[in-house]
Amino acid sequence: MDPASPNVIPLEAPLPRCTRHRNAVAGWRCGRCDASRCPDCVVGRRAHTVELIACEQCGDVAQPLLTPRSRVPMARRLQCAWRYVFSQSGLQVLVAVSLFLAVFRWLMELAISFSALIPLTIYGGIFWGTFFTLAQGSARGETTLQSPDFRDYFHDAILPGLRGVVTFAIVWMPAFLYVTVLRPLLEVGTSALGAWLRSQDTPGLLDVDPVLVFLLLLGALWLPAALLITAARQPMLTLFNVPATFRIVRRLGSDYTRVTAVLMLLGVLHLVTHGVAVVLRVLDIFLVSRVLAEAVTLVIPFTAAHVLGLLLYTRGDVLGYGVEQDYLVPVLGDAGPSREAPPIRENAPLFGAEAVATTAEARTPEHDSAEALAAAVQARDVPLAMSLYATARQQPRLRVPPEHHLFVGQAAAVEGNYPLAVAALESAADVAPDDPTAPKALVLLARVLGERMHDTSRAEEVYRYVLHRYPDTAAARFASERVAPTSD
C-alpha cells in the first residue's frame, strides 16, 4: 500500500475513531461507503486461502488502516530487550554457539604460531555470522533466535566475519592512528599540542588526553551507526561516507540516542562478563568451564544484536532497508473482526464482481467466454478482461490459459481488487505449475498478500514454496531477499 494512501495514518496524526462507535479506535476503512470501522463493525469471511474483512453495513471489502511502526516508541520496545537471550530459543542458540566457540578457542591455544589463524578465523566467523543473523532476524520482527546453518561457510561465516572486523577497524581507526602515529610525532615536535603532551607527568595511554578521549567518545557514538549499516547489508564503502552516516544519525534522532545509550551500558556490562569468564576459566572444569565462559560473554553481544535489530525493524527505512511499505503495520495490530460470516462459495463472484459479471454475461454468450477473454487480454482491455474473468470463474469446465490468469491477477492488484487478484494468481500457478508464468504468479501473489492485504504469514509461506519448488529462477532469487531460508 502506498504510504500516501488515505488508509495510511501518518505518525503525527491521531488514530481514527469508528464511525459508529466514537470511543473505539478504527482498524479498517470500507472501500464503498468510506466509513471507518472497529472490530465490532466488520465481519470476517474466508475466500480461497485468505481471510477477507467486509464492512458490516454495505458488505464491501474493508481495507486495514495502517500506521508506521515507529508509532510504538523505541523506549517501550527496549524495555523487554533483555528477555531476548533468556527465551527458550535464545538459550538453545547460546549453548550451541558457546560450545562451538569453546572448542575453537581451545584449538587456538593448542595451535603453534601461524596455524592459530585457522581456528581464529572460524571463531570470528561463527561469532559475527551469528551476530548479524540475530540482528537481521530481529529486523524482520522475529521473536525467536535462529543461528546460521553455516551450509555455505563463505557467505554464512567468512563474509560476516570480515564485515564485522572491518566495521570495528574503521570505527576505532582514528583513535588507533592517533595513539600509534600522530601522538608520538607530536611529542617530539614543536607544536603547541606536542608541548602540552610533553608537559604531562604520566606518559603513554594513561594521560588525560582530551584528544584521545574525544576520539574514543566519537567511536562509541559512531559504532551503532556502523553496525546498523553493516547489518542492513549496505556497501562497506558507506562506512567511509561520513556525511551520509551523519544524515542517518540525524534522521534517527532520539531513537539513535536511546539505542546508543543502551549499547554503552551493555558495553560496560560486557567488561564485567569478561571478568566472570576469566574466573570460570581459572576453575578449569574441563569443557564445562570453557562453555560457560563463552556463554557468559555472548549474552551481551546477542542482546546488542537484538537492540540493533529492533532499531532496524522500526526505522530501517532511513537506511533503505527493505521497502517503505514494510514499515506500515495495522493500527489494531493482530486484532480481527469480532464476528465471522459464512465462507464465500468457491465459484461465487468475489466482492465487487457481481455487477461486472452481469455486464459480461450481457455482452458475451457463455460458449464464447474464453474467446472473448482472450481478445480482451490481447487488447489489454483491463475492465473488460476483469469482468469476463469474473464470469469465466463460474464455469468450471472453461479452461483459461495461465497467462490470462496472470494478466487478470496483475490488473486486479493494480485496481485494488485484492480478492480477485489472489484468486487469479493462485489459478495461474495451479493450472500450469511447470509453466514459466507459475513462479512469477506466486511471487506476485505473495506481494499482494504481504504488501497489500498484510497477511504476512501466508505471504511467507508462498515465498518459501517458491524457494522450494522453483529454486533456480529469478522468482526464487527475489523470494530469498524477502524471507530467510530455512535450514532444511
Per run of 10 residues, the mean pLDDT along the chain (length 488 residues) is 72 89 89 86 67 76 86 90 91 92 89 80 90 89 78 79 89 87 69 54 55 87 90 84 88 92 94 93 85 94 94 88 80 81 48 43 51 76 76 66 85 81 85 86 87 79 86 82 56
d(CA 418, CA 452): 8
Helix or strand (DSSP H, E) at 119 = helix 117-139
Residue 137, Cβ neighbours under 10 Å: how many? 20
Q: Which residues contact 14 (CB under 8 A, 6 or more apart)?
A: none
Q: How many helices, marked H, and strands, marked E, lie in the chain?
A: 19, 8
pLDDT at 256 (0 to 100):
93
pLDDT at 279 (0 to 100):
92
Looking at residue 344, the DSSP 8-state letter turns out to be P
Q: Which CATH architecture has domain 346-482?
A: Alpha Horseshoe (1.25)
pTM (two decimals): 0.69
Contact between residue 382 and residue 411 where contact means Cβ atoms under 8 Å apart: yes
DSSP-assigned letters across all residues of 148-192:
---SSHIIIIIHHHHHHHHHHHHHHHHHHHIIIIIHHHHHHS-SH
d(CA 370, CA 397): 11
Residue ranges covered by each domain of the chain: 1-65+331-344, 74-327, 346-482
394 half-sphere exposure, CB direction, 13 A CA radius: 16
Helix or strand (DSSP H, E) at 415 = helix 402-415
Q: Which three cell numbers stand for residue 83?
A: 528477555
pLDDT at 3 (0 to 100):
60
Buried b / exposed e over 39-69, threshold 16 CB at 10 Å, is bebbbbbebeebebbbbbbebebbbbbbbbb
pLDDT at 293 (0 to 100):
94
pLDDT at 485 (0 to 100):
45
d(CA 293, CA 102): 8
d(CA 231, CA 135): 7
Burial of 440 (0-12, 13-18, 19+ CB in 10 A): buried
pLDDT at 294 (0 to 100):
94
d(CA 155, CA 385): 46
Q: What are phi and psi of 53, to 5 degrees?
A: -110, 125
